[in-house]
Amino acid sequence: MPDKPPARKMRIAVLTSGGDSAGMNAVVRSIVKSAILKGCETYVVREGYEGLVRGNSEAVSSVPTSSNAKEHHRSESPLASGDADSFVHNLRFGDGELLRDGTGDHPGGRSLKGRYIVRVGWDDVRGWFSQGGTLIGTARSVVFRTYEGRLTAASNLIKEGIDAIAVCGGDGSLTGADVFRAEWPKLVAELATQGRITPEQAKAHAHLRIVGLVGSIDNDMSMTDLTIGAPTALHRICEAIDNIDSTAFSHSRAFVLEVMGRHCGWLALLAGVSGGADFIFIPERPPEADSWEDEMCKMIQRHREIGKRKTIVIVAEGAHDKHLNPIRAEYVKDVLTERLGLDTRVTTLGHTQRGGRPCAYDRLLPTLQGVEAVEALLEATPDTPSYMIGVAENKITRVPLMDAVRMTNEVTQAIKDKDFDKAMSLRDPEFRESLEGFYATSILEKEPRLPHHMRMRVAIMHVGAPAGGMNAATRAAVRYCIRQGHKPFAIHNGFPGLLDDNVHQLSWLGVDNWMTRGGSELGTNRKLPDIDLGAVAAKFQQWNFHALMLIGGFEAFTSLLTLETGRKHYPAFNIPMVHLPATISNNVPMTEFSLGSDTSLNALVDACDAIKQSASASRNRVFVVETQGGKCGYLATMGALAVGACIVYTPETGIDLDKLRNDVKFLKKRYTLDMKGRSEGRLVLRNEVSSNVYTTDVITKMFKEEGGKLFDSRSASLGHTLQGGIPSPMDRARAVRLSLKCMAFIEQHHALLQKQSGSGKPRQASPESAAVITIQASALKWVPVQEMVPHADMENRRGKNERWMRFVDLVEALVARPQILEKA
Ligand code: ATP
């Protein structure tokens, strides 16, 4: 049972600690907003644990910080449930501007000097998540590591009446959080004995609620797939590799890139996978051979011999050989220059990896984790462990903080003990699969792995609209096929291309640059196989395909369904057939993720950041931004969450007059609550087919008319820009991982069919052998295509129970729509 809530509003503070990472501001924003919605009072602690120890000097903390700061210690009411009055009370305390300013001083005389635990409201954190780093400051606090330091920190928290803290930082910061919570009863007792707090205060603060969110660019925390900031750092690295690529190719050069990661090779590994590197060095899996230089040179020489003009080697800063001797980028460069005579350069990316605007995922993940963190704090009891908020595939998770910290330390220890198998086993499955994916797609082996009788002719086809990651998935499949001894065939231009015999065998080198290419290198087509199913079957037979991989969206799903159904009449379809979802609309039933959707969200975030800046620059302006997505509102909804849009229109919910009337009411009220004299831009996202009548143009004109003197309105249509240019690193890495799973699936079902043929029975593929690879909550699942039919809305070309639909409510909650409308 949760604690009985205190007889006053709960006070929640958030701090960022350790190295900064992109997405920390989104954590603060999400926690502040979620906590206010739950009726709590919200605080930020500046400069991490250092700020907790420094606290607020009495003289300064009594200075009012804004017009309503005099109510700072006013409310002793029971824990409210986010009612409208309490919302308006929590709107603004004025310190957001000072924090954003970075100086902590305001010409008007307000100052943050001497104040480290600062009351903040809803609008104080507005728009924070488009900024990199952390606006509330971070530090590495030596004094917090001491008992005395933590005693003072506890005293400061109690004096400010803080009941709960959310800590966003790396493993060190979360270790500190756990130590603090474990010691809390002792600290409180000692403060009471020393007379530094009253017995009442000791009683009211007998239990400290604490939650951890992992902000770290290294992705070095166990028990979570991703840490906040790691995806953005990966973006920065891949941008650098993509830039280096062209010069490396032009001059036939080798580049050795050093990337961050002292104890964790995630950045180097994922950069290697997504950037199509030739060789990587990571701490968890050092080269097996003592003479790793020979191994590396042999490999690179083999790549060069078949005509590769560029070489990319990635070295994690903590890389070493199996005896723990460091492997440095400069040394790798010398080896490549001296032994292979390559013109080799070193690029050390350093702090550029930390910086810059957060990518879409580093806005979504912290937003969702912040909501969960507040829930965890509200539900915490003295008997429950402190939690760390993590993510598994697509699901936000809670895991005991100490278990995650312990497991993370075990990896470090295993590396120190040279037990690299253990270090790898302690990393999450995605890490291991990515490493396998790197070997499978980057290393050209001398001989195929499979004996002749197990080798296949694998057809690969793109169906439907292009999406980021299609080419990366194809490249991975091709390279895997070649490693095994299969022959990969490209079918160009979809089913019409097959009927025209537009088919050719792909080579290892031919797909080399495909990781970074957007669109579809094979050429894609929306036509389904039922244009002439018999002729399609005849072509399957003519080309003697043993397996088919379809990469695409709803059309690819429908095609697979048609082919599977066609097995009754056409034996040529009795082969393993897979569909790897790739569509920016993310409308394939039963899967929460399609390749291309991350690229598209990033294109949307980039465009909306620029639009929002323009919308705020001159006067109050509401921009109605139209997105693609067909009859699926995924892109509009997740885009709205990622850019902080205040209204989202989707085809699933539609648009009617009542909704529009309420939207206008909401916007008017919202603009009247804004700070006078400051112009604010707001975004509204509308999926292109949300309504035939209430078009983007109609809505824009309506808002303009109704906005009067309060706000103006303009529209922007993002159109095909949302297909993105260069695919995002997440799409590329996921493409490799999922593509290899498809290949394993095909091999497994091919072997079953071969067994069947060997027994003399007629060849009949099972329904399970025509399947779609899906991501459902925290798991990857194969779903036979026929089993997907009940979950598909064939008319609207989308899934029936789309899990992302719940986020429509979250978009509205995070702009306090219900509370603001209630005040209207
Ligand atoms: P990064 O991953 O970027 O290095 P981090 O959170 O691991 O981030 P650290 O410097 O290890 O960074 O830790 C941040 C702060 O957390 C320390 O400066 C210290 O104040 C606190 N801290 C770390 N470990 C402990 C501990 N064992 N006890 C108390 N406080 C700690």
| Residue-wise pLDDT tens digits, 100-141 | 777 777 666 677 888 999 999 999 998 888 888 999 999 999
Q: Which atom of ligand 1 is nearest to the CA of 143?
A: 20
| Average pLDDT, integer, range 410-427 | 95
Least confident window among 16-25, 45-54, 75-84, 493-502: 75-84
Q: Which pLDDT value is given to residue 368?
A: 97
Which one-letter amino acid corresponds to residue 242?
D
Q: Which atom of ligand 1 is nearest to the CA of 174?
A: 6
Does this complex have an ipTM over 0.95?
A: yes
Residue 171 marked as a ligand binder:
yes
Q: Which of 24, 142, 173 to mutate to test the pocket of ligand 1 (most atoms within 8 A of CB)?
A: 173
Query: How far is Cα of residue 666 from the mean position of the Cα atoms in its chain?
Result: 30
**Which one of the listed residues 95, 124, 178, 218 is annotated catalytic?**
218
Residue 353 marked as a ligand binder:
yes
pLDDT band at 63 (very low <50, low <70, confident <90, very high): very low
Centre of ligand 1 from the C-alpha of residue 142, in Å: 9
Residue 274 marked as a ligand binder:
no
Centre of ligand 1 from the C-alpha of residue 264, in Å: 16
451 Cβ partners below 8 Å, 6+ apart? 485
Residue 216 marked as a ligand binder:
yes
Q: Does residue 527 carry a pLDDT above 60?
A: yes
Q: Which atom of ligand 1 is nearest to the CA of 169?
A: 6
Centre of ligand 1 from the C-alpha of residue 220, in Å: 14
Q: What is the pLDDT of residues 532-570, one digit of tens each?
A: 999 999 999 999 999 999 999 999 999 999 999 999 999
310/327 Cα distance (integer angstroms): 21
562 Cβ partners below 8 Å, 6+ apart? 528, 529, 530, 533
* Atom 19 of ligand 1, nearest CA residue: 141
584/639 Cα distance (integer angstroms): 12
* SS3 assignment, position 50: helix
Centre of ligand 1 from the C-alpha of residue 171, in Å: 7
Sequential DSSP letters for 654-722:
---HHHHHHHHHHHHHHHHHSPTT---EEEEEEETTS-SSS-HHHHHHHHHHHHTTT-EEEEEE-GGGG
According to DSSP, the residues that pair with 647 across neighbouring strands are: 684
- How far from 654 is each of 588, 650, 695, CA to CA, in Å? 20, 6, 11
Share of the chain above pLDDT 70, in %: 94
Centre of ligand 1 from the C-alpha of residue 176, in Å: 6
Q: Report the mean per-residue pLDDT for the chain.
A: 91
Say if CB 724 and CB 603 are below 8 A apart: yes
Residue 565 marked as a ligand binder:
no
Q: Which of 809, 817, 811, 807 is nearest to 634 (CA)?
A: 807
pLDDT band at 79 (very low <50, low <70, confident <90, very high): very low
According to DSSP, the residues that pair with 784 across neighbouring strands are: 771
Q: Which pLDDT value is given to residue 101?
A: 75
> Torsion angle, CA of 764/768/771/773, rounded to 10 degrees?
-150
Residue 50 marked as a ligand binder:
no
Q: Does residue 676 carry a pLDDT above 90?
A: no
* Atom 3 of ligand 1, nearest CA residue: 19
* SS3 assignment, position 575: coil
Residue 407, class by beta-carbon neighbours within 10 Å (0-12 exposed, 13-18 middle, 19+ buried)?
A: middle
Residue 565, class by beta-carbon neighbours within 10 Å (0-12 exposed, 13-18 middle, 19+ buried)?
A: middle
Sign of CA dihedral 155, 114, 677, 356: negative
Q: Which of 138, 145, 264 to mutate to test the pocket of ligand 1 (most atoms within 8 A of CB)?
A: 145
Q: Does residue 81 carry a pLDDT above 60?
A: no
Q: Are strands 547-552 and 457-463 parallel, antiparallel or unpaired?
A: parallel
Q: Are strands 209-214 and 387-392 parallel, antiparallel or unpaired?
A: parallel
Q: Which pLDDT value is given to residue 778?
A: 74
| Average pLDDT, integer, range 582-596 | 95
803/810 Cα distance (integer angstroms): 13
* Atom 31 of ligand 1, nearest CA residue: 176
Residue 261 marked as a ligand binder:
yes
What lines the ligand 1 site, CB under 6 Å? Answer: 17-19, 49, 140-141, 144-145, 169-173, 175-176, 179, 216, 218
Q: What is the pLDDT of residues 220-267, one digit of tens each?
A: 999 999 999 999 999 999 999 988 888 878 888 999 999 999 889 999
Q: Which of 17, 116, 184 to mutate to test the pocket of ligand 1 (most atoms within 8 A of CB)?
A: 17
Residue 170 marked as a ligand binder:
yes
Residue that the structure tokens 């006067």 belong to: 619
Least confident window among 181-185, 351-355, 567-571: 351-355
391/610 Cα distance (integer angstroms): 29
According to DSSP, the residues that pair with 780 across neighbouring strands are: 775
Q: Does residue 756 carry a pLDDT above 90?
A: no
Burial 199-233 (b: 16+ CB within 10 A, else e): eebbebbebbbbbbbbbbbbbbbbbbbbbbbbbbb
Centre of ligand 1 from the C-alpha of residue 145, in Å: 8
Q: Which atom of ligand 1 is nearest to the CA of 19?
A: 3
Residue 276 marked as a ligand binder:
no
Q: Which pLDDT value is given to residue 80?
A: 37
Q: Does residue 70 carry a pLDDT above 70?
A: no
Q: Does residue 414 carry a pLDDT above 50?
A: yes
Q: What is the pLDDT of residues 433-478, one digit of tens each?
A: 999 999 999 989 989 999 999 999 999 999 999 999 999 999 999 9
Q: Does residue 658 carry a pLDDT above 80?
A: yes
Q: Which atom of ligand 1 is nearest to the CA of 20?
A: 3
Centre of ligand 1 from the C-alpha of residue 172, in Å: 3
| Average pLDDT, integer, range 54-72 | 50
Centre of ligand 1 from the C-alpha of residue 51, in Å: 14
Q: Does residue 762 carry a pLDDT above 80?
A: no
Q: What is the pLDDT of residues 28-47, one digit of tens each?
A: 999 999 999 999 999 999 99
Residue that the structure tokens 């403060």 belong to: 191
- How far from 773 is each of 325, 475, 511, 548, 781, CA to CA, in Å? 41, 18, 23, 14, 6
Centre of ligand 1 from the C-alpha of residue 19, in Å: 9
| Average pLDDT, integer, range 640-650 | 96
According to DSSP, the residues that pair with 242 across neighbouring strands are: none
| Average pLDDT, integer, range 373-402 | 94
Centre of ligand 1 from the C-alpha of residue 165, in Å: 16
Residue 630 marked as a ligand binder:
yes
Q: Which atom of ligand 1 is nearest to the CA of 139?
A: 18
Q: Which of 485, 489, 488 is nearest to 452 (CA)?
A: 485
Helices 729-758, 429-442: crossing angle, 10 deg rounding? 80
543 Cβ partners below 8 Å, 6+ apart? 457, 459, 489, 503
Q: Which atom of ligand 1 is nearest to the CA of 144?
A: 20
Q: Which pLDDT value is given to residue 789?
A: 97
Residue 697 a catalytic site member: no
Q: Are strands 503-505 and 344-348 parallel, antiparallel or unpaired?
A: unpaired
Q: Which of 50, 116, 140 to mutate to test the pocket of ligand 1 (most atoms within 8 A of CB)?
A: 140
242/357 Cα distance (integer angstroms): 18
